[in-house]
């Protein structure tokens, strides 16, 4: 028997719809199973490590010593062998005044000293200025006159006793003797005066030599010229500034520590600093601590000494420093890529019963590729490393 063609089409459509319905039911049944399939992730326990406890402070690098070289004598500047940035050693010549006048004064003082020594009766050269007054010609002459007067008085006294000489002549002899005594005393005083003149002339010579030496300015310590104030040819009065020299090794790091942390700072503690800019980091040691807290800023001034032999650090630079107040303290550490920060919230993703658990944390210091966690987890807690787009409640399994 032959059926109508449209009957066959309807039958086929019914079969097709039936199969389609079966396919949808099968897909709905498998979708939850795929969504709940555990995701393979790398899980690591939070480590119980040790980190140094530090205090972060800001400060400024300063020169250990800084001096402005001033002239002690007046004169015209003849030499200035240094300039901005010149490196000098202790004793190096920084500036020289015209030495002509100073040398002439030395010669003049030396001549005056020789003249005074000649009057005293000592050799023109030499350093010994002392001489016994009895050995000088002046005193010996007065002594001879005194001896003669004494003898004459004795002879006339004998003649007077014999009645040969009058009393008046004896009185004259006695007066001559007293005059001779006075002249001897005067000779002694003159010798002492000449000795004082010699001492004065020697002091004048020493002063002239000192002024000659001070006409040459030398560096008082190893350092670098920070500023040159004058040029060659300028006439300098006493006290004129010539150059400023700073000592750059070591440097002083002046830090301000908050009052609440000031009690933890001690001399001898290590300091790690990082200057602003491209300057390399460095280390120093706390050497000085202020005895009082600043009442206005409520901070404590601390000074650290920082080695700077290569002069990589510059005085005046701003720096951030860490004062190591405890070499090692217990700390909970997690990999840095396990910490996620979003919308101001810092968290890590832990694992509990095979599912992701979100835990808010407070982080501290960073050391290498690990971060210190101050609050939120404990040592040994499983943490998802590099969580990506994981969300809380998602099933996970540790990757091998």
Confidence band of 5 (pLDDT split at 50, 70, 90): very low
Q: Helix 167-214 vs helix 137-161: angle between axes, to the nearest 10 degrees? A: 170
Confidence band of 137 (pLDDT split at 50, 70, 90): confident
Percentage of residues of the chain with pLDDT beyond 90: 38
Strand, coil or helix: what is 261? Answer: helix
Q: Is the pLDDT of residue 20 over 60?
A: no
Q: What are the distances in angstroms from CA 167 to CA 170, 175, 176?
A: 5, 12, 14
More confident residue, 51 or 318: 318
By CB atoms closer than 10 A (0-12, 13-18, 19+), residue 261 is middle
Strand, coil or helix: what is 387? Answer: coil
Mean pLDDT across the chain, nearest whole number? Answer: 85
Q: Cα-Cα-Cα-Cα dihedral of 347, 350, 355, 356, to 10°?
A: 20
Tens of pLDDT, residues 208-218: 999 999 999 99
| DSSP letter (8 states) at residue 163 | T
| DSSP letter (8 states) at residue 2 | P
- pLDDT at res. 15: 39
Of 321, 342, 330, which Cα lies nearest the Cα of 389? 342
Of 79, 17, 374, which Cα lies nearest the Cα of 218? 79
- pLDDT at res. 106: 96
Q: Which residues contact 362 (CB under 8 A, 6 or more apart)?
A: 346, 373, 374, 375, 376
C-alpha 383/C-alpha 36 separation (Å) is 20
- Model pTM greater than 0.85? no
172 alpha carbon, distance to own chain's centre = 84
**CA atoms in the 13 A half-sphere facing the CB of 14:** 6
**CA atoms in the 13 A half-sphere facing the CB of 111:** 6
Element (H, E) at 219: none
Tens of pLDDT, residues 222-277: 999 999 999 999 999 999 999 999 999 999 999 999 998 888 899 999 999 988 87
- Quote the strand ranges of 297-369, DSSP E: 299-306, 318-335, 339-342, 345-352, 355-360, 362-367
Neighbours of 215 (CB within 10 A): 23
The encoded tokens of residue 187 equal: 């000779």
- pLDDT at res. 187: 87
The encoded tokens of residue 208 equal: 């002239």
The encoded tokens of residue 125 equal: 């050269």
- pLDDT at res. 194: 87
Q: Is the pLDDT of residue 325 over 70?
A: yes
**CA atoms in the 13 A half-sphere facing the CB of 164:** 6
Tens of pLDDT, residues 53-106: 788 898 999 998 999 999 999 999 999 999 999 999 999 999 999 999 999 999
Neighbours of 134 (CB within 10 A): 11
Torsions phi, psi of 169, nearest 5? -65, -35
Residue 79 pairs in a beta bridge with: 96
Q: Is the pLDDT of residue 126 over 80?
A: no
Alpha helices in the chain (DSSP H): 5-35, 100-120, 137-161, 167-214
Confidence band of 36 (pLDDT split at 50, 70, 90): low
Q: 239 — alpha (psi -120 to 50), left (phi > 0) or beta? A: left
Residues 180, 39 contacting (CB under 8 angstroms): no
Residues 350, 357 contacting (CB under 8 angstroms): yes
Of 310, 301, 248, which Cα lies nearest the Cα of 279? 310
């Amino acid at each position: 028997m032959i059926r109508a063609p449209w009957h066959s089409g309807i039958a086929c459509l019914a079969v097709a719809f039936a199969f389609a319905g079966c396919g949808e039911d099968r897909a709905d049944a498998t979708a939850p199973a795929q969504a709940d399939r555990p995701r393979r992730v790398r899980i690591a326990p939070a480590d119980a490590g040790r980190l140094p406890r530090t205090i972060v402070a800001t400060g400024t690098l300063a020169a250990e010593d800084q001096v402005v070289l001033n002239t002690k004598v007046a004169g015209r500047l003849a030499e200035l062998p240094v300039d901005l940035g010149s490196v000098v050693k202790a004793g190096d010549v920084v500036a020289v005044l015209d030495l002509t006048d100073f040398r002439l004064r030395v010669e003049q003082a030396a001549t005056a000293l020789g003249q005074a020594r000649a009057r005293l009766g000592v050799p023109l050269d030499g350093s010994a200025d002392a001489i016994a007054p009895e050995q000088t010609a002046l005193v010996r002459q007065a002594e001879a006159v005194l001896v003669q007067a004494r003898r004459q008085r004795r002879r006339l006294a004998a003649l007077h006793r014999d009645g040969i000489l009058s009393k008046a002549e004896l009185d004259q002899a006695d007066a001559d003797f007293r005059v001779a005594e006075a002249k001897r005393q005067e000779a002694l005083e003159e010798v002492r005066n000449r000795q004082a003149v010699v001492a004065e002339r020697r002091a004048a010579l020493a002063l002239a030599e000192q002024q000659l030496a001070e006409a040459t300015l030398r560096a008082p310590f190893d350092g670098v010229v920070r500023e040159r104030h004058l040029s060659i040819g300028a006439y300098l009065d006493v006290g004129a500034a010539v150059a400023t020299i700073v000592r750059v090794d070591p440097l002083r790091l002046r830090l301000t520590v908050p009052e609440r942390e000031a009690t933890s700072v001690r001399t001898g503690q290590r300091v790690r600093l990082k200057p602003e800019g491209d300057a390399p980091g460095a280390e120093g040691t706390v050497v000085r601590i202020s005895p009082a807290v600043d009442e206005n800023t409520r901070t404590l001034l601390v000074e650290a000494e920082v080695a700077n032999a290569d002069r990589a650090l510059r005085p005046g630079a701003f720096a951030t420093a860490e004062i190591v107040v405890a070499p090692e303290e217990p700390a909970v550490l997690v990999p840095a890529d396990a910490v996620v920060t979003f919308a101001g919230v810092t968290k890590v993703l832990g694992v509990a019963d095979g599912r992701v658990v979100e835990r808010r944390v407070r982080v501290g210091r960073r050391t290498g590729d690990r971060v210190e966690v101050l609050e939120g987890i404990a040592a040994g807690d499983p943490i998802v490393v590099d969580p990506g787009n994981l969300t809380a409640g998602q099933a996970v399994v540790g990757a091998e």
